[in-house]
Chains A and B, each alone.
Chain A
Amino acid sequence: MIYLDNAATTRPMKSAIQDAEGALNELYFNPSASYAGGIQTHGEIGRAREEILSLVGGTENFGLIFTSCGTEADNQAMFGSVKRGNLVVSGGEHAAVYECAKELKNRGLEVRIAPLNRDGSVDRDALLRLVDEKTALVSVIHVNNETGAVNPVGRIAEQVKEKNARALFMSDGVQAFGKIPFRLTKHIDFYTLSAHKIGAPKGIGALIVKKGVKAEAYLYGGGQESGKRSGTENVFGILAFASAAKRKFSTLKEDGERILSYRERLFEKLDKDLFVRLSPENGTPYILTVSAKGLRGETLVRMLSDRGVYAGKGSACSSKKPFSRVIEACGVERELLDGVLRFSFSPENSEAEIDEAAEIVNRTAKELYGRIR
């Protein structure tokens, strides 16, 4: 099986599992307990927090709340910070942000959606025009999970603050963290992460919050995570997250170069009579999104699965809707909306796999053409 859906989730790294195993064996204590084992476990969580923070911004200016997933982090940032005013979000936001915005709208807030460029990045000028003195929060996804387009969130945040210094700025960093070089800047108030996209297990995410910025609790209870996120900590997940993150950052540059060559190699080998590229060249190396003209991406995904290639059809979270909201917002033509296929890579992939996958994808698409034309 050739796994090319790493933007949906990744296979957990053996090293991350090993590094975290202590939490299941020796350090199984409740981190809130007052005895030595509990205190030691609590200390391990603190170390993991610092390690992850140090990879993107340092502990001096930012804090980090462990959550159960990226979606929870996005929810906490949005519901925990906005009470009134208007909200500006890009049309390329992941459902974890977009649906929160819709809910906030139901609760009476004004929501403004910023249009996208063809490649899935936000139209920055249009976004800035939507920001005014009443804007409470602006959200721009860092790497568009459907096309791979990268938004320069540091710069956008700065421009937002120039227009309204009190507006908060958040960015969903789930597809960016550990995959593209990035440091948090003082203009970014919230940044959200998910561990299973970088080789840690599912069930752990994080909300990075700039110091001095309020992100109200979303879950109440035992007061863990400084009262910001109650619930006994997922110690195993946290330790594995830190281990995987460290590993990803240590090889970020080499991995990025190698994977960029895979992305381009795959696209080069795809039959251009059948496939149109939707991903930008300057996007994340990890995602290549194409559309098969006149075919259905979903049917292709199933056929590819039967032939041993696992690929995505855009965002897995929106698989119950006919077309992707985000791809539609990019202004992609109607006849291409149905045929979207997303290939996403990991350092575990090899060049031979890419070549084999390209051959299978071409053959399968051609076959499907023959069957429905």
Chain B
Amino acid sequence: MTEKVIIIRYAEIHLKGKNRGFFERLFTVNLERCLKGLRHELRRTSGRYLVEKFDEERIEEIEERIANVFGVHSYSVGLKTEAEIDAIFECALTVCPEEGTFKVETHRGNKRFSLTSMQVNAEIGAKLLNARPKLKVDVHAPKSYVYVDIRENQTALVFGEFKRGRGGMPVGASGKGLLLISGGIDSPVAGYMMAKRGMQVDYLHFHSYPHTNELAKEKVVSLAKQIAKFTNTYRLTTLSVTKIQEEIHAKCAPELNVTLLRRFMFRLAERLAKKRGAQCLITGESLGQVASQTIEGMTSSNAVVTLPVLRPLVGFDKDEIIEISRNIGTYDISVEPYEDCCTVFLPDFPAIKPKLSFIASEESKLDVEGLVEDALTTLEMISF
């Protein structure tokens, strides 16, 4: 019996030696989660996963979801049939075009199959040429391929193309981080990048209502929802930094407004990260992009935390970041107009290279611990 299947191949998991079982189980869980709500059966065979018994009308949706799971190296939509030449040929007919050059490429998982790979190539190729006179064999640069994969359990898989997945590692394989997410272009991309390397990502957003808009929060939720496709995280934590901003504005040198605010954000993020079991902070900073993203600015923020701060975009140009954000569907949301910071609090000339001693003396004018504690009481969780 022949049926439509999706063949999934994983990326780096095969490199993981003795930990392979852990990675494979995690990958299975993530695949199952992505297919939730869609009829299917997921089967693990050696080195591959097969999605079977799904609703063929919804195949595009299934493909899209699979393509977004980290750890998927490539996948193919194909046919599963008996490991028997006539059945394979019938499948090959549906995979192969009517005309043009082609090549049959066979792989035998089952080495006891009666024909060698070369023999299968020749047999299927000859039958195809016979059935479709406009076809021509080209073994070097064919226009299309017919792949035949003969499996151990007397079945064969026949498919025409490899579609690329997003690669990376299964989410959850590389610990947990807390992403500082704004409504801009960079931070969602940073979250995506860390999730790609297998990190479970929790989101934290700072707002300064009433100086900023409630709509800004909604926008961040939209961004978080968009990257949830990849990260599997469906909740956002928010904290208000209104009072902190007002205090800084009232008491400290205006050129340090942003520097000081960022130090508070890092302190707050670290407190939350530790509570949540996150092992690092993640930001969307890119070296030199804005006044606060200089090495001095980063140093001054790092100085107030002990957790590592991961900045996956630090060496990226804006163009490169935008390209990824378009690819993951966050760009259009990020560029919607909104305010992420009240202009009242933005100095005309922010300090580009703030000195730690100057920062410390300005910060000593504030009740740092009191403000941090106070801000933590504004914590809100949004699930989506």
Contact = CB atoms under 8 A, between A and B. Distances in A.
A371 B248 CA distance: 11
Contacts of B337: 320
A231 to B, nearest CB: 30
A44 interface: no
A303 B344 contact: no
B209 A302 contact: yes
A54 interface: no
B249 A306 contact: no
B246 A298 contact: no
B210 A299 contact: yes
Contact of B211 (A299, A306, A320, A373): A299
A296 interface: yes
Closest 4 CB pairs of A and B: A302-B210, A303-B210, A320-B337, A371-B246
Nearest to B250: A373
Given A306-B210, A320-B337, A299 B342 contact: yes
B213 A296 contact: no
Which of A299, A303, A320, A373 has the most B CB atoms < 10 Å from its CB? Answer: A299
B218 interface: no
Contacts of A371: 246, 250
A296 B345 CA distance: 12
B214 interface: yes
Given A298-B213, A299-B211, A371-B250, 19 more contacts: A296-B211, A296-B342, A296-B343, A296-B344, A299-B210, A299-B342, A302-B209, A302-B210, A302-B213, A302-B214, A303-B210, A306-B210, A320-B337, A371-B246, A372-B246, A372-B249, A372-B344, A372-B345, A373-B250
Interface string A356-371: 0000000000000001
Contacts of B213: 298, 302
22 contacts: A296-B211, A296-B342, A296-B343, A296-B344, A298-B213, A299-B210, A299-B211, A299-B342, A302-B209, A302-B210, A302-B213, A302-B214, A303-B210, A306-B210, A320-B337, A371-B246, A371-B250, A372-B246, A372-B249, A372-B344, A372-B345, A373-B250
Contacts of B343: 296
Contacts of A306: 210
B84 to A, nearest CB: 59
Contacts of A373: 250
A306 B342 CA distance: 18
A21 B122 CA distance: 78
Interface in A239-293: none
Interface string B194-222: 00000000000000011101100000000
Q: Which of B209, B214, B344, B345 has the most CB of A within 10 A?
A: B344
A296 B344 CA distance: 9
| Chain B interface bracket (under 10, 10 to 19, 20 to 34, 35 or more) | 10 to 19
Most chain A CB within a 10 A radius of its CB, from B210, B211, B249: B210
Interface string B17-36: 00000000000000000000
Interface string B246-257: 100110000000
Contacts of A299: 210-211, 342
B333 to A, nearest CB: 15
Interface string B109-126: 000000000000000000
A366 B311 CA distance: 41
Contacts of A303: 210
Q: Which of A303, A306, A372, A373 has the most CB of B within 10 A?
A: A372
A302 B213 CA distance: 8
B142 to A, nearest CB: 50
Contacts of A372: 246, 249, 344-345
A306 B240 CA distance: 16
Nearest to A305: B210
Interface string A317-329: 0001000000000
Nearest to A295: B344
A373 B345 CA distance: 10
B334 to A, nearest CB: 15
B247 to A, nearest CB: 9
Most buried by B among A298, A303, A306, A371: A371
A296 B214 CA distance: 15
A211 B246 CA distance: 60
A303 B342 CA distance: 14
A303 B213 CA distance: 11
B169 to A, nearest CB: 40
A372 B211 CA distance: 10
A303 B214 CA distance: 12
